[in-house]
Amino acid sequence: MCDKKAIVLLVEDEKEVLNVSARILARHGYDVRTAENCSEALIKIRRTVPDLLVLDIMLPDGNGYCICKVFRSMSSNPVIFLSGKSEITDKVKGLEIGADYYLTKPYNPSELLAVADMLMKRHMQMTMKNDKFAPIIKGPLVLDLEKSKALLNGKDVFLTTKEFTLLLLLVRNENNVLSAHEIYEMVWGLSAPNDTNTVRFHITNIRKKIQAGEEHDYNIVSVYAKGYMFVSN
């Protein structure tokens, strides 16, 4: 696991089950928090949203379904239901409310660990995928990474592939100067020639298309004898 431990909130009113499950999860690198009823669980969820929620259904002051509904209004992080109720209707209800997995008691703690690891890995992969393609927004300018398009006030400005790659490079290095040679090597993937007219030509076209430095709070500026930099307010 990464340096920052994933937080697991384990909600269970059977102390023995709670302690055994908490121990095995903690032993394998999770930051385990516990609660023995609905009220305590909701307080802890609102204080710190866990990376993984493990819920018993039958609790002294309510049920796990209610907790899951509240949690789902706050987060898409994984939820595991633990229950002695094995009827298919109970499982379906839990999944419909937003659970990712359903373990029927009695269960082996190693099975809980395996499911927790599987769900956390899958969730992290999905999060990374979503982050990778999340649009970059600079005022009215939006870079759609999935479609490799730049939109200004919602309209495509029709950047070429090289122009989009160059603009994205500058935006991702906002407030840092990149030399024309660095830009050429990173965008074209070739050793930079002594002549930097190619980079200058492309940046001129980009500035016109995205209306940089006009009424918008962003610009691509030339830094004398150093290179180019994307800036925004």
Amino acid at 35: A
Beta bridge partners of 156: 151
87 and 102 fall within a common domain: yes
Q: What is the CB-side half-sphere exposure of residue 122 using CA atoms within 13 A?
A: 13
Copy the structure tokens of residue 210.
Answer: 């995205």
Residue 102: other Cβ atoms inside 10 A: 20
In a domain, residue 39? The reply is: yes
pTM over 0.75: no
Copy the structure tokens of residue 48.
Answer: 């710190």
Q: What is the span of the domain harbouring residue 227?
A: 136-232
59 and 77 fall within a common domain: yes
Q: What are phi and psi of 160, to 5 degrees?
A: -75, 170
Counting the structural domains of the chain, the total is 2
Q: How far apart are CA 167 and CA 174, in angstroms?
A: 10
Residue 1: pLDDT over 60: no
In a domain, residue 145? The reply is: yes
In a domain, residue 2? The reply is: no
162 and 222 fall within a common domain: yes
pLDDT digits (tens, 9 = 90+) for 32-82: 999 999 999 999 999 999 999 999 999 999 989 999 999 998 888 999 998
Instruction: Using the 3D structure, point to which of 132, 165, 183 is the last residue of a domain.
Output: 132
178 and 218 fall within a common domain: yes
Residue 45: other Cβ atoms inside 10 A: 20
pLDDT digits (tens, 9 = 90+) for 107-140: 888 999 999 999 999 888 877 766 677 899 999 9
CATH number for the domain including 91? Answer: 3.40.50.2300
18 and 111 fall within a common domain: yes
